[in-house]
Structure 1
Amino acid sequence: MPTNSRQFIPLNIAIMVVSDSRTEETDTSGKTLVDRLVDAGHQCAEKVIVIDDIYQIRAKISAWIADPAINAIITTGGTGVTGRDGTPEAVKPLLDKELTGFGEVFRTLSYDEIGTSTMQSRAIAGVANGHYIFCVPGSSGACRTAWDKLISAQLDYRTRPCNLVEVMPRLLEK
């Protein structure tokens, strides 16, 4: 849990909605993430909707991880098991390190909400070129679970005993 012994450090977070059918008008998941990160004190660096195509997903994320002004990326959608779900396949080749605990904990938390259906989630997270990337399912409920119970605390410098923000300066060490 965050404590007040440290100053909050706002981050620039990019949001990608992966969908073949959502538009700005019908997107609820991306809006959920933007609202939550802004309410937490972070900035939304950019929000885009990209079709579920591994090369288009990878191209946009590659541009973001090359941008030093962006600290973290959250994708929503494309983590299921259908033929069009390709977010993990798009992102994994870009990762320098995978945070396997993210998917494990997300599915554990999600089990309490949706039962065994959580086994269909291929939520992943990792680090690419000094940027954190979180890939969560496309439902607004999954976005709330991921942000409220995992991502928000780890992207808050005040969270003890440790958080992802405090190691950001060391992510590019060789």
Structure 2
Amino acid sequence: MSAHGGNTFIPLNIAVLTVSDTRTEDNDTSGQALVERLTQAGHKLADKAIVIDDIYQLRAQVSKWIADDSIHAIISTGGTGFTDRDNTPEALTPLFDKAIEGFGEIFRHVSLMEIGTSTIQSRAFGGIANKTVILCVPGSTNACKTAWDKVIKEQLDASHRPCNFVPHLNITTEQCESRG
């Protein structure tokens, strides 16, 4: 039992995608921050990729991971702003079976406390496709840390109550508890 009174922790297989025209494995601090946090939490890094901000290359990479039943979650960093090269929402939302509207709302809410109204320029978003949760956050390292620490970590933890994303993934668990 956890402090929330729920199930025990279930390690998930998580893929990390960095969307960037300039980052490499040597300078991808955002992707590395996500990898460090997910492994420290007890999850497994299923795969990691850096893909240029091209709609079709992004869809190809994420579609490959969505089709892989062993990958439970995908966390994407970058490409969520308003520049001409920021295309992650346009690339990935057509792949979703269901959108997770609250993810972007909650991320911007917690981010507001850190960076003020500049958070309005974040197009963080999420969805579920083929029982894989996909969470997309801005490319800054601090934004990745905020997203993991204040939103993602609990939602990818089967012991978090009253509800988390684990029952919706390709893993056998009990459904969310009633809030009643």
TM-score range, shorter chain: over 0.9
**Is 2:66 the counterpart of 1:57?**
no
Q: Deviations over 1:99-145 (max 9, x none)?
A: 00000010011111111110110000010111000000000110011
* 1:123 partner letter: A
Q: Partner letter of residue 17 of structure 2?
A: M
Query: Where do residues 1-174 of structure 1 align in structure 2 (5 Å cutoff)?
Result: 3=4, 5-168=6-169
Q: Give the paired residue count.
A: 171
Q: 1:141 to 1:121 in 2, by over 3 A?
A: same
C-alpha distance in 1 between matches for 2:3 and 2:87: 34
Look up the SS of the partner of 1:115 in the other structure.
helix
Normalised by the length of structure 2, the TM-score is: 0.91
For residues 2-25 of structure 1, the C-alpha deviation after alignment (integer angstroms, 9 at most, x for no partner) is: 546522100000000000001111
Q: 1:5 to 1:126 in 2, by over 3 A?
A: closer
SS across alignment from 1:162: coil
Runs of 4+ in 1 over 2 A off after TM superposition: 1-6, 166-170
Identity %: 61
Cα distance change of structure 1 residues 134 and 2 upon mapping to structure 2, 3 Å threshold: farther
Q: How far apart in 2 are the matches of 1:138 and 1:166?
A: 28
Q: TM-score, normalised by structure 1?
A: 0.94
Unaligned runs of 5+ in 1: none
Q: 2: CA distance between counterparts of 1:132 and 1:103? A: 14
Aligned partners of 2:4 and 2:162 also within 8 Å: no
Q: What whole-Å deviation, never above 9, does each CA across 1:15-37 have from its counterpart, x for those lacking one?
A: 00000001111110000000000
Cα–Cα, structure 1 residues 61 and 2, in superposed 2: closer, same or farther, change >3 Å?
A: farther
- Runs of at least 5 residues in structure 2 that lack an aligned partner in the other structure: 172-180
Where 2:71 maps in the other structure, the secondary structure is coil
